[in-house]
Protein backbone atom coordinates (compact mmCIF):
# COMPACT_ATOMS: atom_id res chain seq x y z
CA UNK A 1 0.00 0.00 0.00
CA UNK A 2 1.40 3.38 -1.03
CA UNK A 3 1.69 6.11 1.55
CA UNK A 4 0.15 9.39 0.44
CA UNK A 5 1.28 12.64 2.01
CA UNK A 6 -0.69 15.80 1.39
CA UNK A 7 1.23 19.06 1.51
CA UNK A 8 0.03 22.61 1.61
CA UNK A 9 1.35 25.04 -0.98
CA UNK A 10 3.40 26.70 1.78
CA UNK A 11 5.06 23.41 2.70
CA UNK A 12 5.80 22.60 -0.95
CA UNK A 13 7.55 25.96 -1.34
CA UNK A 14 9.46 25.46 1.92
CA UNK A 15 10.72 22.08 0.73
CA UNK A 16 11.68 23.57 -2.63
CA UNK A 17 13.58 26.38 -0.89
CA UNK A 18 15.41 23.89 1.33
CA UNK A 19 16.50 21.88 -1.73
CA UNK A 20 17.57 25.10 -3.47
CA UNK A 21 19.70 26.06 -0.46
CA UNK A 22 21.28 22.60 -0.38
CA UNK A 23 22.05 22.82 -4.09
CA UNK A 24 23.61 26.25 -3.61
CA UNK A 25 25.77 24.95 -0.76
CA UNK A 26 27.02 22.07 -2.89
CA UNK A 27 27.84 24.53 -5.69
CA UNK A 28 29.69 26.79 -3.23
CA UNK A 29 31.62 23.80 -1.87
CA UNK A 30 32.45 22.55 -5.36
CA UNK A 31 33.75 25.97 -6.42
CA UNK A 32 35.64 26.64 -3.19
CA UNK A 33 37.33 23.21 -3.30
CA UNK A 34 37.67 22.78 -7.04
CA UNK A 35 41.46 22.37 -6.82
CA UNK A 36 41.19 19.63 -4.18
CA UNK A 37 38.38 17.64 -5.90
CA UNK A 38 39.01 14.97 -8.48
CA UNK A 39 37.12 15.18 -11.75
CA UNK A 40 34.95 12.26 -10.63
CA UNK A 41 34.10 13.94 -7.30
CA UNK A 42 33.31 17.23 -9.03
CA UNK A 43 31.06 15.41 -11.51
CA UNK A 44 29.22 13.58 -8.70
CA UNK A 45 28.68 16.84 -6.80
CA UNK A 46 27.39 18.48 -9.98
CA UNK A 47 24.97 15.57 -10.50
CA UNK A 48 23.75 15.97 -6.92
CA UNK A 49 23.15 19.68 -7.60
CA UNK A 50 21.19 18.82 -10.73
CA UNK A 51 19.00 16.31 -8.86
CA UNK A 52 18.31 18.87 -6.13
CA UNK A 53 17.52 21.53 -8.74
CA UNK A 54 15.06 19.12 -10.38
CA UNK A 55 13.41 18.55 -6.99
CA UNK A 56 13.17 22.33 -6.55
CA UNK A 57 11.31 22.61 -9.86
CA UNK A 58 9.01 19.71 -8.96
CA UNK A 59 8.07 21.06 -5.53
CA UNK A 60 7.57 24.60 -6.79
CA UNK A 61 5.40 23.22 -9.57
CA UNK A 62 3.43 21.24 -7.00
CA UNK A 63 3.02 24.40 -4.92
CA UNK A 64 1.68 26.24 -7.97
CA UNK A 65 -0.79 23.40 -8.62
CA UNK A 66 -1.97 23.54 -5.02
CA UNK A 67 -2.51 27.30 -5.22
CA UNK A 68 -4.40 26.82 -8.48
CA UNK A 69 -6.62 24.22 -6.84
CA UNK A 70 -7.28 26.58 -3.93
CA UNK A 71 -8.17 29.38 -6.33
CA UNK A 72 -10.47 27.03 -8.24
CA UNK A 73 -12.19 25.98 -5.02
CA UNK A 74 -12.60 29.62 -3.96
CA UNK A 75 -14.09 30.47 -7.36
CA UNK A 76 -16.52 27.57 -7.03
CA UNK A 77 -17.56 28.73 -3.56
CA UNK A 78 -18.01 32.27 -4.90
CA UNK A 79 -20.21 30.99 -7.75
CA UNK A 80 -22.30 29.09 -5.22
CA UNK A 81 -22.66 32.20 -3.05
CA UNK A 82 -23.70 34.25 -6.09
CA UNK A 83 -26.31 31.63 -7.02
CA UNK A 84 -27.67 31.63 -3.46
CA UNK A 85 -27.79 35.44 -3.44
CA UNK A 86 -29.68 35.50 -6.74
CA UNK A 87 -32.19 32.98 -5.40
CA UNK A 88 -32.62 35.08 -2.26
CA UNK A 89 -33.15 38.25 -4.31
CA UNK A 90 -35.74 36.45 -6.43
CA UNK A 91 -37.55 35.35 -3.27
CA UNK A 92 -37.45 38.89 -1.88
CA UNK A 93 -38.81 40.24 -5.16
CA UNK A 94 -41.64 37.70 -5.04
CA UNK A 95 -42.48 38.70 -1.47
CA UNK A 96 -42.46 42.37 -2.48
CA UNK A 97 -44.82 41.58 -5.36
CA UNK A 98 -47.22 39.71 -3.06
CA UNK A 99 -47.18 42.53 -0.49
CA UNK A 100 -47.74 45.17 -3.20
CA UNK A 101 -50.59 43.19 -4.71
CA UNK A 102 -52.18 42.64 -1.30
CA UNK A 103 -51.85 46.32 -0.40
CA UNK A 104 -53.40 47.38 -3.71
CA UNK A 105 -56.27 44.90 -3.18
CA UNK A 106 -56.95 46.39 0.27
CA UNK A 107 -56.87 49.89 -1.28
CA UNK A 108 -59.32 48.74 -3.97
CA UNK A 109 -61.65 47.28 -1.34
CA UNK A 110 -61.52 50.51 0.69
CA UNK A 111 -62.17 52.62 -2.42
CA UNK A 112 -65.11 50.43 -3.42
CA UNK A 113 -66.62 50.62 0.09
CA UNK A 114 -66.19 54.41 0.00
CA UNK A 115 -67.64 54.46 -3.55
CA UNK A 116 -64.54 56.34 -4.64
CA UNK A 117 -64.26 55.75 -8.40
CA UNK A 118 -60.90 57.55 -8.76
CA UNK A 119 -59.46 55.66 -5.81
CA UNK A 120 -60.74 52.36 -7.22
CA UNK A 121 -59.19 53.14 -10.62
CA UNK A 122 -55.84 54.04 -9.02
CA UNK A 123 -55.91 50.86 -6.89
CA UNK A 124 -56.74 48.79 -9.99
CA UNK A 125 -53.69 50.23 -11.74
CA UNK A 126 -51.52 49.40 -8.74
CA UNK A 127 -52.88 45.84 -8.73
CA UNK A 128 -52.07 45.50 -12.43
CA UNK A 129 -48.56 46.90 -11.92
CA UNK A 130 -47.94 44.63 -8.92
CA UNK A 131 -49.09 41.54 -10.82
CA UNK A 132 -46.72 42.44 -13.68
CA UNK A 133 -43.92 42.71 -11.14
CA UNK A 134 -43.44 46.45 -11.33
CA UNK A 135 -43.33 46.99 -7.58
CA UNK A 136 -42.25 50.64 -7.90
CA UNK A 137 -45.50 51.54 -9.71
CA UNK A 138 -47.60 49.47 -7.31
CA UNK A 139 -46.48 51.43 -4.22
pLDDT tens track for 49-104: 999 999 999 999 988 988 888 888 888 888 988 898 898 888 888 888 888 888 88
Instruction: Give residue 9's pLDDT band: very low, low, confident or very high (50, 70, 90).
Output: confident
Q: Quick one: pLDDT at residue 139?
A: 52
Q: Quick one: pLDDT at residue 73?
A: 86
Q: Please report whether residue 2 resides in a domain.
A: no
Q: How far apart are alpha carbons 66 and 29 in whole angstroms?
A: 34
Q: Please report whether residue 1 resides in a domain.
A: no
Q: Quick one: pLDDT at residue 53?
A: 94
Residue 129 sits in which domain range? 9-138
Domain count across the chain:
1
Q: Please report whether residue 129 resides in a domain.
A: yes
**Maximum CA extent, the chain:** 114
Q: Are 123 and 111 in contact (CB under 8 A)?
A: yes
Q: Are 56 and 16 in contact (CB under 8 A)?
A: yes
Q: Please report whether residue 4 resides in a domain.
A: no
Query: pTM here?
Result: 0.54
Q: Please report whether residue 3 resides in a domain.
A: no
Q: Please report whether residue 102 resides in a domain.
A: yes
Q: Please report whether residue 133 resides in a domain.
A: yes
Amino acid sequence: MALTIKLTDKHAYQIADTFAQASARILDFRIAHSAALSDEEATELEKAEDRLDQAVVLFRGYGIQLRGAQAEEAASELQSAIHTARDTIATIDSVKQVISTGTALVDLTVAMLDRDAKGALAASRRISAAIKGDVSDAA
